[in-house]
Amino acid sequence: MIDADHALKSGTGLIGRSGLEREIRDALRLTGTGKGTALLLVGKYGVGKSRLAASAAEMAVAAGMAWGQGRGSVIGRSVALRPLTEAVLSLVRGTDHLDPDALRSHQPALAAVLPEYAGELEQPNPSPVLLGEAVLRLLSRIARGRGCLLVLEDLHEADYETLAVVEYLIDNLRREPVLLVATIGSEPGAVALALADAVATRRSGRFLPVPPLGYPDTRRLVCSHLGVESVPTAVADIVWLGSSGIPLLIRAITVDLAKSGYLGIDESDTRWSASRTDEAPGELVKALERWSATLDPVTLDLLLLAAVLGRRYSPTVLGAATGLEAGEIRNRLSGLLRRKAYAPGRQSGTRLPILHPLLITALLAQLSPARRAELARRVADAVEAAHPGLPGLWCPAAAALRSRAGEPVAASRLFAEEARRQLVEARLSAAMDLADRAVLLPARDSPEGRAAAWDVRLDALVEAGLADRAMGLAGSVDELVRRLPGSGQAKLHLRLADAAWQTGRTRVASALVKRAKTALGDESGASGYVRAELSEVRFALDAAAPGRLRQLSGTVGRLIAAAGAADLPETACRGWPLLGRLLSLHDPARARECLAHAVAVAVHHHRPLDELRALLYLRSWEAMTTGDVDELRLVVERAGDKGAESLRHRGTLTLALVAVLRGEFAAAEELLDRLQADSTRLRLHRLTQQALLIRTVLAGHRGRTAELATANFALRAQGGFQPQHSGWLHGLSGAFCALLTEDRDRAMRELDLAARAKVVSLSVPHHSGKHGLSLLLRALRGDLDLAGWDAATADPAHHLRWDRQFAAFARAVLLGRRGDRAEAEVAVADAVTLGDPYPNARFLGLRLVGEAALADGWGAPVRWLRAAEKHFDGLAVAQAAGSLVRQAGARAGATVLPPEVQAAGVTAREYEVLRLLVDRLSNREIADLLHLSHRTVERHVSSLIAKTGLAGRIELGRFAITAGVVRITPAPVRVPTAPDGRSFR
């Protein structure tokens, strides 16, 4: 905080008074030469006249001059000759060499101001001329040889006798070494002002007006009081307006701001506590009250209305509130603000300091509550008249004005309307704040208005991922529902149904939808009924029979048509993504069209939140279809920035699943940890189930049987081990894990269980293995031929890249078994290309195909098996691939080794390394080509050197050539590549 004591103790300084100081210094210099004069400092109260007089005294003392000071009385009746008496007494008090005999003839007159000069006969009313002459002689004696300064302050409070004597002195100072400095207030009616005018006219003295400080000097003075180098513009503007440049008020307001906590200080500068606008400092209120009292009633009314309206006043609104023309409003306010709130040279386009929140508070603090309410009502009426429909920021402004005017019903309605607008614009935080204000206003006599407020509040909570909090408000909603008509009841029931569905209360959600349809009664064509049916279909997607999906698609299509006919953009924006999800299993091409159309509809109706929702479904569909998550990640980040936590959670689930499929296990685990932390904190039971479901997939794709069992147990404990999840639990997780542990029979059983599932869930993308992994295992087992393969892959559901890679591997097995070796190798290349985003699945496919190719004599099975062995290092599948490679080497082995190589005791694996040494490849290059580790190749090379007794790698290459070792180049041993040249690695 600012040190307020420093501001209290600091002097005002002489900032902005350099010209007046120069006048005083010149006058003192001339006085020292015997040319006296009078300086009359005229200005408003607190403008700094006394500080200038004190500065004159400091200069006089520094020059060795005598000086005396007197002051007019500001309390009670004026005391005759008080300023002169005080000044003369102070002069005599400091003079030891005064010769009384020299002033003997003037002693009777001086007795009026010097009691020791009074004789036996008093003269109570000496002539002002004689008294003036006597005082002048006295001053001349005191000033002899050094000069004299006489300071008379507040002459506007002095009596007539004093002013008459002062006038005589001023007229006769020209030949005396005496300077008279007088301070006079500029308030109208003061006699001393007439004296100052007369003196200026006769040129017997100098009339020096002391003006208020300008804006720059005010800012410098504020810095001086606070003991800092600079202050924010807001501070300077507030002090400038409240003080009118009067130094006394500048100090008082600055100190009050510091004491009240509006100013703070950091290591480098002063900072403004902008949040402190609830109560204005008293000195600022007093200053503005004095200032506003000088305004005419029309201008004051205009100023207060502008303050009520806020920082950005509108001439249009003020015109509607006052009946004044826009030109007159501008003239009045511009003139007012040029005088009070602008420094010379400041641009007129600058934001007006008058509209700072603290200044608004200070202005309105002068008013009674009834007066403030009346002004707020006038401005609210004017806003609604000037801006029909209340576009932009006018709606919340009108809502706040209605609240301050004591009209809670109208205020609640406007806050709810603005909350709905913010929600549609995907500004969730602002929407929740406005909805809370709408609900909390005491408008119990208007159930329809409260229902609108509750509707947007519940909707905002659900979209923000606070569905559990929404369910906690169900009691308050039920109390309100009983007072509403059928359509109002249905609306709130459907909002609570959304909240119940997100928190995992599926039965409660269905019951609430039924209650909504019951409340609507015969209104089957109404908008509420369409919304209710859409909600019913959406909840049914948690567990729907595959055959029923087509029926639901028709229902949603009919509802979308009804929404379009009734001009219900919200319902249409919710219906199109739902239709796309329903079509995803049996008509993927049309499904994508529906999702893209949902985005277009939301953009057309300018509904950013619905656009974000549709984009999320579209990008999720693309990510699951292609494995590319870049676009989805951008949408998820955008949802998080908007505060749409419900959408962010949904997108993060898809990101986590795709990360598992792509083999990015650490990233998937991190995403799932965050999701489970959010779901636990927000009590989103449904989100917890979905995150645990993906954890089972993660455990299965890692080949960790124990971890998979633990994940299944955790899912079952959360009630998530349900029939609609069979495709995931058995096909995507269990079967994959079984293959990684080399249990092919269990993998087939898991896939059969997934295929027999009677219901599916579209809440998460569908991967059961039916159109991919199952085809490969059936081909290996001999249960599938090419005709059956063609029939299976003709199914529209066979569109996911994940499934298509396994189907391509299956085709390679079938072609190789038939003897079409070239086509089989092309099919493997196709599978490797399709599996590029999914390394785990790609290498698993190579392991399975490698075994079939080895048995049927086609392709490059050894290389494929070695690649799988290296990728799955440590898992059972790697051991099985290595065993197959060794078996293949044993069958091919001893007969191909040249005699000299056999005589040296070289093994089959060492021989493969020796063949590559002919081309002088590095250990790293050999390791990559043979799918071995770098250290293993180093050991083989060292063994070859030891067995042959040669000096190094170059000699080994020469030995291989002379021994007749078949030369091998890197190209033939490379893994099959796709037509575009990309390797399966």
pLDDT in tens, 150-189: 999 888 888 888 888 888 888 888 888 999 999 988 877 6
Same domain for 255 and 111?
no
Range 193-205 average pLDDT = 84
Q: Which residues, other chains included, contact 641 with Cβ-Cβ below 8 Å and sequence gap of 6+?
A: none
**How do beta strands 263-265 and 270-272 pair?**
antiparallel
Residue 114, in any domain of the structure: yes
Q: Which residues, other chains included, contact 475 with Cβ-Cβ below 8 Å and sequence gap of 6+?
A: none
CA–CA dist 209, 193 (Å, integer): 11
User: What is the end-to-end Cα distance of the chain in Å, rounded?
Assistant: 63
Residue 754, in any domain of the structure: no
Residue 662 pLDDT > 80:
yes
Range 381-395 average pLDDT = 90
Residue-wise pLDDT for 9-55, tens only, equals 443 358 888 889 898 999 989 888 888 889 999 988 888 888 898 89
What pLDDT, on the 0 to 100 scale, is given for residue 558?
Answer: 83
DSSP string, 715-744: HHHTT---GGGHIIIIIIIIHHHHHHTT-H
What pLDDT, on the 0 to 100 scale, is given for residue 964?
Answer: 74
**Which phi and psi (to 5°) does residue 649 adopt?**
-65, -45
Residue 578, in any domain of the structure: no
Residue-wise pLDDT for 819-840, tens only, equals 888 899 999 999 999 999 999 9
Same domain for 131 and 100?
yes
Tell me if residue 218 falls in helix, strand or coil: helix
Of the three residues 835, 868, 890, the one that is the final residue of a domain is 890
Residue 260, in any domain of the structure: yes
273 burial (CB, 10 Å; 0-12 / 13-18 / 19+) is middle
Percent of the chain at pLDDT exceeding 70: 82
Range 766-785 average pLDDT = 86
Residue 293 pLDDT > 60:
yes
CA–CA dist 658, 651 (Å, integer): 11
Q: Does residue 654 contact residue 617 with C-beta atoms inside 8 Å?
A: no
CA–CA dist 439, 454 (Å, integer): 6
CA–CA dist 375, 560 (Å, integer): 48
Same domain for 791 and 886?
yes
Tell me if residue 566 falls in helix, strand or coil: coil
**How do beta strands 148-153 and 66-71 pair?**
parallel
Confidence band, pLDDT 50/70/90 cuts, at residue 80: confident
Residue 984 pLDDT > 70:
no
Same domain for 808 and 880?
yes
Strands laid side by side in the 148-153 sheet: 66-71, 148-153, 178-185, 37-43, 206-209
What pLDDT, on the 0 to 100 scale, is given for residue 444?
Answer: 67
Same domain for 840 and 930?
no
What pLDDT, on the 0 to 100 scale, is given for residue 579?
Answer: 86
Please state, as a whole number, how many other Cβ atoms lie within 10 Å of the Cβ of residue 797.
17
Residue 948's nearest CA partner among 898, 897, 893, 903 is 903
Residue 811 pLDDT > 90:
yes
Residue 974 pLDDT > 60:
no
Same domain for 173 and 269?
no
User: Between the CA of residue 371 and those of 283, 301, 326, 633, what are the distances in Å?
Assistant: 22, 11, 24, 54
CA–CA dist 685, 506 (Å, integer): 10
What pLDDT, on the 0 to 100 scale, is given for residue 343?
Answer: 35
Tokens of 696: 């089972």
Q: Does residue 585 contact residue 549 with C-beta atoms inside 8 Å?
A: yes
Please count the helices (runs of H) and the strands (runs of E) in the chain. 50, 7
Tokens of 761: 């869930």
175 burial (CB, 10 Å; 0-12 / 13-18 / 19+) is exposed
Range 564-590 average pLDDT = 83
Same domain for 162 and 281?
no
Residue 422, in any domain of the structure: no
Dihedral of alpha carbons 44, 46, 52, 53, sign: positive
790 burial (CB, 10 Å; 0-12 / 13-18 / 19+) is exposed
User: Between the CA of residue 94 and those of 89, 404, 642, 966, what are the distances in Å?
Assistant: 9, 65, 79, 125
Same domain for 39 and 180?
yes
User: Considering its fold, how many domains does the chain have in total?
Assistant: 4
What pLDDT, on the 0 to 100 scale, is given for residue 557?
Answer: 83
Residue 616 pLDDT > 80:
yes
Residue 519, in any domain of the structure: no
> Worst-scoring range by mean pLDDT, 68-82, 165-179, 513-527, 661-675?
68-82
CA–CA dist 154, 164 (Å, integer): 15
Q: Does residue 659 contact residue 678 with C-beta atoms inside 8 Å?
A: no
Q: Which residues, other chains included, contact 950 with Cβ-Cβ below 8 Å and sequence gap of 6+?
A: 956, 959
Tokens of 450: 């409260």
Please state, as a whole number, how many other Cβ atoms lie within 10 Å of the Cβ of residue 929.
23
CA–CA dist 884, 861 (Å, integer): 9
CA–CA dist 107, 105 (Å, integer): 6
Q: Which residues, other chains included, contact 511 with Cβ-Cβ below 8 Å and sequence gap of 6+?
A: none
Of the three residues 890, 920, 942, the one that is the final residue of a domain is 890
**How do beta strands 206-209 and 263-265 pair?**
unpaired
Range 332-344 average pLDDT = 51
What type of residue is 821? R
Rounded (10°) angle between helices 18-32 and 49-62: 40
Confidence band, pLDDT 50/70/90 cuts, at residue 843: very high
Same domain for 189 and 234?
no
What pLDDT, on the 0 to 100 scale, is given for residue 313?
Answer: 67
SS (H, E, C) 457-500: HHHHHHHCCCHHHHHHCHHHHHHHHCCCCHHHHHHHHHHHHHHH
- The backbone region for 285, taken as left when phi is positive above 0, alpha when psi lies in -120 to 50, beta otherwise, is alpha
Percent of the chain at pLDDT exceeding 90: 21
Same domain for 137 and 177?
yes
Same domain for 27 and 176?
yes
Residue 838, in any domain of the structure: yes
Structural domain of 919: 893-973
The owner of tokens 């200032």 is: 291
> Worst-scoring range by mean pLDDT, 127-131, 441-445, 877-881, 969-973?
969-973
Residue 491's nearest CA partner among 568, 602, 430, 403 is 568
CA–CA dist 826, 808 (Å, integer): 9
Average pLDDT, the chain: 81
Residue 543 pLDDT > 90:
no
Residue 30, in any domain of the structure: yes
The CATH number for 41's domain is 3.40.50.300
Same domain for 828 and 951?
no
Confidence band, pLDDT 50/70/90 cuts, at residue 112: low
Q: For the chain, what's the residue count?
A: 985
**Which phi and psi (to 5°) does residue 105 adopt?**
-70, -20
Of the three residues 843, 871, 890, the one that is the final residue of a domain is 890
Residue 363's nearest CA partner among 397, 415, 313 is 313
Residue 807 pLDDT > 90:
yes
What pLDDT, on the 0 to 100 scale, is given for residue 978?
Answer: 44
The CATH number for 933's domain is 1.10.10.10
CA–CA dist 309, 303 (Å, integer): 10
